[in-house]
A and B are shown apart, each in its own frame.
Chain A
Amino acid sequence: MTEKNLIKGQTGDWEVVIGLEVHAQVIAKAKLFSGADTSFGAEPNEQVSLVDAAMPGMLPVINKKALEQAVRTGLGIKAQINRFSVFDRKNYFYPDLPQGYQISQFSDPIVGEGEIIIDMEDGESRTVGITRIHLEQDAGKSVHDMDPRSTYVDLNRSGVTLMEIVSEPDLRSADEAAAYLTKLRAILRYLGTCDGNMEQGSMRCDANISVRKPGGDLGTRCEIKNVNSIRFAAQAIEYEARRQIEVIEGGGTIDQETRLFDANKGVTRSMRSKEEAHDYRYFPDPDLLPVNLSEEFVEEIRASLPELPDEKKDRFVAEFGLSAYDADVLVAERAIAEYFEEAADGQDAKTVANWVTSDLFGYLNKEGLEITDSPVAAKQLGALVGLISDSTISGRIARDVFAEMCASGKDPADIVEEKGLKQVSDSGELEGIVDEVIAKGAAQVEQYKSGNEKIIGWFVGQVMQATKGRANPQMVNEILRKKLAG
């Protein structure tokens, strides 16, 4: 734990203790226990099977793909895979819960303990423990805004597969929680087990938060339910920690309760107290046999795992000589890492990394584009770096070429050819131009000779102006120094 994570209260420093439960919608064509479709954006109640609507006599049948995705996720966080697991019923009444129970996993989840390494902005890394991952059905959606007096229910989501990924209470600040969620989302996307689109609700988070004096006993926790963005999670934690500190410092005590985050006002609000908490009456679902996974099933999935962010980062540092920071940025998303590797193929990787993280990201951010929508293909960016490396164009001209690539999608070589942007590296030609510039700038020559070496920039500028920026800057420098010294 680092000092900077502590929150200052009136009675001294406080430490916040956070554990997160992430509900991740599993990528699968069908629901957890029915064959109904799961794509986003269908009309209400278009994706509801007899099982999802809990018609009399309907029975759940486990979707093998869901098991596979949970195991894949478990392996991705280096977790223990439980070859024996059990589905339980969690009983409660709600109109969007057709069965009157949610099929979930209680005592015997499919994935046990694992870990996720988070990288903070200051370069520090921390390991966050994962308690478990279990599979469960999503509920439907209650729609309250269609009629002033009635609530409608959309069961499209009813029965969709969720993984609940539960962390240990290892997080110590809102920033760490945000870093954890970002890293977890990256891993899920790398694995292809969840698309991580929080705004569409395919990843949601519950945060358990308590505060204590550094090194003291754990405080009473409150649970903030259903936060649907990383930014909101950080805001909710920040607010909730300060609220708890204020209550305790004001002589009060924290009641264990469930709270909701109001994103508009940036505050958390009490939803129900511990006394009002449901007794879910968990018991093994008698409609489903326990899940027994074979070793081959698990090993087959292990063998098909992609390279994950941590390994990829290490490889980028070792193989390409990138800084840890650059490598982190590039591996944060699988699509970016893949773009980078394609662009860097046969090129100077460090230069490519700079182009990706500065110019390309700058352009994409400005235009609000994802890397997968980039008008500049990875190979084209690599070719641009190639033109710089072999001195066909200068870095400065390259920026103009890049802008043109963004606008037209053309290959950099074609743009250089069409616009005559090829660098002037002919020493005879350059020497002539340099001579002219020196002849025009008697005063500047005088300054240079009297020790103002910075004035050389003026000469370079003149040469560039004369060549419309195409002069090879390195050669211009060399020729200038030689002639001015002469």
Chain B
Amino acid sequence: MAALTELTLAEAKEGLAKGEFSSKEITETYIAAIESARDLNAFVSETPERALADAEASDKRRAVGEAGALDGLPIAIKDLFCTKGVKSTASSHMLEEFVPPYESTVTSQMVDAGMVMLGKTNLDEFAMGSSNETSYFGPVVNPWKRKSDDQPLVPGGSSGGSAAAVAARLCLAATGTDTGGSIRQPASFCGIVGMKPTYGRCSRWGIVAFASSLDQAGPMARTVQDAAILLQSMVGFDPKDTTSAELPVPDFQAVLGQDIKGMKIGIPSEYRIEGTDPEILALWDQGIKWLQDAGAEAVEVSLARTKYALPAYYIIAPAEASSNLARYDGMRYGLRVDGETLADVYENTRGEGFGSEVRRRILMGTYVLSVGYYDAYYIKAQKVRKLIADEFSAAFEQVDAILTPTVPSAAFAHGEKSDDLLGMYLNDVMTVPASLAGLPGISVPAGLSSDGLPLGLQLITKAFDEETLFRVASVLEQSAGFTARPDGGA
């Protein structure tokens, strides 16, 4: 039998069910893997004692035939989810010591399903970033390296710790959150599957808010099936989040392996964005061919307003963030840096507590909501958002899914884009449109660059049609046959 860390989540689930190994055994293996890979900085908090206790409790449940859907499976949680009794930092100095007395709805459902929590993964501070370099706890190192040099690469962001941990076999799967691409982009950079469900599928209750109208939790895993299994335990209506959808939840695994004959796959030419790596455009063409070979029909669709998505996103998300982060004022919890006057306390606390990218976005958000700019920026951005959503709706009258690249480039080196803000923001250019429209999207690893780095392709479907998304993604995964590994194996 292969090492336990080599199993997919589905295989591990089966192994546990068959009694081939215990949860304690696989958990110990993962704890050791995490310890030996600390140079990746993928975790903000490792919780080995908690994990072992979870595992032992799981083995007992299994012994009496009470195993849940995730029972005994070692999983990592992005440190944006509040976890009861476990530090939940959002990778910010502001919340460095924050231990919530409550559990987010998503993770509490996963706990109920029996998961073993290995720890909390690193992220860009308050999920603001595309490289994981804005974390107060230092950047995460992508387990992948270029063939041409030995420079440490970024794992993408903001769910970079989760992506790196999944890719480096430090957990079976992990949770992420996606506001403008924070699951899909790091999944692409790290050669894993990352899926953002429809806005409203998962409850946001207990997830530290970045941009409320965009934030959505989702699974990050090594296979499409694993993502589907994990998602199943994350979703569902929550009366504590009025933006969560009161809709029946389908069985996401049921569609896996179904063919896509006769399905129409939309190809938006507007995603041939200038500056995109030609290798990625070639991979996209390859992806189209794979789906055609599987019996689908490729259809040109027009998403003409795509170019306005990124500017609209960088108005709406900071606007909401500027307000959402106002609660970090040093008064009730989190960091407090005293001062002479009340204003001093605010300034000292927020000046020290937030890193530069967070401060930048708060400033941008405050600016676009201010009197005299609100109509020109915020209202206009909301109109653009509506137009983009309408355009997607029109496209989905013709097609079942849309195929695009996930990111215009492969993973870049640490520091490479630190001084190139627009270049950094451009990472999200292909993921942001679906975010603005609230649509589900998935990044599937589809190939390697000539320099040996993984590249993902993105699928998007209409709202609450995760079944079609998984169905097509599964076919794409099979066609791509991506087996490359960060350590050079296959």
Contact = CB atoms under 8 A, between A and B. Distances in A.
B323 A281 contact: yes
Interface in B12-36: none
B331 A98 contact: yes
A54 B327 contact: yes
B212 interface: yes
Given A279-B371, A281-B366, A283-B369, A55 B102 contact: yes
A61 interface: yes
A58 B332 CA distance: 14
B239 interface: yes
21 contacts: A55-B82, A56-B82, A56-B90, A56-B327, A57-B81, A57-B207, A57-B208, A59-B241, A61-B239, A91-B322, A100-B325, A100-B327, A101-B326, A153-B331, A279-B370, A281-B323, A281-B366, A281-B371, A286-B243, A287-B212, A288-B242
B207 A99 contact: no
B205 interface: yes
A218 interface: no
A53 interface: yes
B98 A59 contact: no
A415 interface: no
Interface string B237-252: 0011111000000000
Contact of B209 (A50, A57, A62, A288): A57
B104 A57 contact: yes
Interface in B79-128: 81-82, 88, 90, 95, 98, 100-102, 104
B320 interface: yes
B346 A93 contact: yes
A93 B347 CA distance: 11
Nearest to B206: A57
B204 A91 contact: no
B326 A57 contact: no
A72 interface: no
Interface of A: 50, 53-62, 89, 91, 93, 95, 98-101, 153, 279, 281-283, 285-289
B3 interface: no
A187 B81 CA distance: 47
Contacts of B98: 56
Given A287-B212, A287-B242, A287-B243, A95 B342 contact: yes
A99 B81 CA distance: 19
A55 B242 contact: no
A288 B240 CA distance: 11
Counting from the closest, the 4 A-B pairs by CB-CB distance are A100-B326, A286-B212, A281-B369, A286-B213
Nearest to B241: A59
B429 interface: no
Interface in B149-201: none
Given A62-B242, A93-B329, A57 B369 contact: no
A56 B208 contact: yes
B23 to A, nearest CB: 28
Interface in B202-222: 204-209, 211-213
Contacts of A287: 209, 212, 242-243
In this complex, which of A59, A89, A100, A282 has the most chain B Cβ atoms within 10 angstroms of its Cβ?
A59
Contacts of B323: 89, 91, 100-101, 281, 283
A59 B331 contact: no
A99 B242 contact: no
A289 B204 CA distance: 14
Given A54-B332, A59-B240, A279-B370, A99 B212 contact: no
Given A98-B332, A99-B326, A58 B211 contact: no
Contacts of B207: 57
Contacts of A282: 369
Given A279-B370, A287-B242, 5 more contacts: A59-B241, A61-B240, A89-B323, A91-B322, A91-B326
Given A91-B369, A283-B378, A56 B326 contact: no
Nearest to B333: A55
B335 to A, nearest CB: 13
B280 interface: no
B319 interface: yes
Contacts of B342: 95
In this complex, which of A56, A95, A286 has the most chain B Cβ atoms within 10 angstroms of its Cβ?
A56
B97 to A, nearest CB: 13
A91 B95 CA distance: 22
Contacts of B371: 279, 281
A169 B105 CA distance: 48
Contacts of B370: 279, 281
Contacts of A91: 322-323, 326, 369
Contact of A58 (B205, B239, B366): B205
A55 B346 contact: no
Interface string B281-312: 00000000000000000000000000000000
B425 interface: no
B327 A57 contact: no
A343 to B, nearest CB: 48
A444 B325 CA distance: 95
B374 interface: yes
Contacts of A279: 370-371
A31 to B, nearest CB: 14
B374 A59 contact: no
Contacts of A57: 81-82, 100, 104, 204-209
Contacts of B320: 286
Contacts of A54: 327, 332
Given A56-B82, A100-B323, A101-B326, A289 B369 contact: no
A56 to B, nearest CB: 5
Contacts of B212: 285-287
B348 to A, nearest CB: 13
Contacts of A53: 332
B354 to A, nearest CB: 13
Contacts of A285: 212
Nearest to B89: A56
Nearest to A155: B332
A287 B240 CA distance: 11
B158 to A, nearest CB: 15
A101 B326 CA distance: 7
Contact of A56 (B100, B211, B242, B319): B100
In this complex, which of A50, A60, A286 has the most chain B Cβ atoms within 10 angstroms of its Cβ?
A286
Contacts of B205: 57-59
A100 B370 CA distance: 16
B363 to A, nearest CB: 13
Interface in B354-372: 366, 369-371
A53 B405 CA distance: 42
Given A59-B242, A61-B239, A95 B378 contact: no
Contact of B326 (A93, A95, A283): A93
Contacts of A286: 211-213, 243, 320
Nearest to B331: A95
A174 to B, nearest CB: 33
A286 B318 CA distance: 13
Nearest to B334: A56
Contacts of A99: 326-327
Contacts of A288: 242-243
Contacts of A55: 82, 100, 102, 332-333
A32 B351 CA distance: 32
A98 B332 CA distance: 8
A59 B204 contact: yes
In this complex, which of B209, B212, B320, B327 has the most chain A Cβ atoms within 10 angstroms of its Cβ?
B327
A283 B259 CA distance: 46
A56 B206 CA distance: 7
In this complex, which of B81, B104, B212, B242 has the most chain A Cβ atoms within 10 angstroms of its Cβ?
B242
Nearest to A57: B206
A311 B366 CA distance: 50
In this complex, which of A57, A279, A281 has the most chain B Cβ atoms within 10 angstroms of its Cβ?
A57
A63 to B, nearest CB: 11
Nearest to A60: B242
Nearest to A277: B371
